[in-house]
Amino acid sequence: MDQDDLEERTAELQGKSLGGWGLLQIAGCTGLATYAVWAGILMPGFRKVPLKLQVPYIPASSQQVENVMALLKGRSGKMVDLGSGDGRIVLEAHKRGFQPAIGYELNPWLVRLSNFYAWKAGYHRKVSYQRKDLWKVRLHDCVNVSVFLAPSVLALLETKLLAELPDEACVVTGRFPLPTWAPSNIVGEGVNKAWAYDLKTVRQATQKKAQESAV
């Protein structure tokens, strides 16, 4: 390639280079595409949920599911998973005898996927996946509750659970502990760690603390 060719090629490439407007268009399109994936696929149904309460979908590993079941061993009755994702914890709870086993999940794709997995496993209509905002469901008759949510929402969740759950309830959290409650049992290590909370004990401790601070 001689000098003339080289200059010609360089001029061509310079002619094709992106201006500020081109870059702005690319940035805009990328932003829109990211928002579309976020709003349409990852977090549909979350428009009415305040941003600080939005928790993305990260499914529990089989060891995490196993640890939840270990902490609920010997218990029975109604079991709910708050933010049930693809329904794996609810399905396992049903297999272990919890009835009814219910998942509350806002993402409609995940609710459909949960129903598909339940059908595939032969448990169609045996488990219930409801497209509901977990902050709006009443939990007064839930005696077994599992929670795999982000630490940012757990303080608010403590308040809701304390106000609504009966004394017989047991709450199991995975990945993160509840910020102020004392667990009655812990299993697993690292990311697989799970914590169990006995509502009666937590309620008594909370009342005692309130009485002490009133004195």
Which residues make up the interface to ligand SAM (CB under 6 A)?
49, 55, 57-60, 81, 83-85, 88-89, 104-107, 110, 133-135, 148-149
CA neighbor of 188 nearest in space, from 202, 198, 177, 200: 177
In whole angstroms, give the CA distance from residue 193 to residue 190.
Answer: 6
Nearer to ligand SAM, 85 or 183 (CB): 85
- Spatial CB neighbours of 104, under 8 Å, sequence gap ≥ 6: 80, 81, 82, 83, 84, 130, 132, 133, 134, 137
Q: Taking the complex as a whole, how short is the minimal distance between the CB of residue 206 and ligand SAM, in angstroms?
A: 24
Q: Taking the complex as a whole, how short is the minimal distance between the CB of residue 175 and ligand SAM, in angstroms?
A: 8
Q: Which residue is nearest to ligand SAM (CB)?
A: 83
- Spatial CB neighbours of 92, under 8 Å, sequence gap ≥ 6: 65, 68, 69
Nearer to ligand SAM, 117 or 200 (CB): 117
How many CA atoms within 13 Å lie on the side-chain side of 44? Answer: 11
Q: Taking the complex as a whole, how short is the minimal distance between the CB of residue 137 and ligand SAM, in angstroms?
A: 8
Nearer to ligand SAM, 109 or 200 (CB): 109
DSSP run (H or E) holding 164: helix 151-164
Nearer to ligand SAM, 117 or 135 (CB): 135
Q: Taking the complex as a whole, how short is the minimal distance between the CB of residue 60 and ligand SAM, in angstroms?
A: 3
Q: Taking the complex as a whole, how short is the minimal distance between the CB of residue 42 and ligand SAM, in angstroms?
A: 8
CA torsion, ordered 41, 46, 47, 52, to nearest 10 deg: -120
Nearer to ligand SAM, 133 or 201 (CB): 133
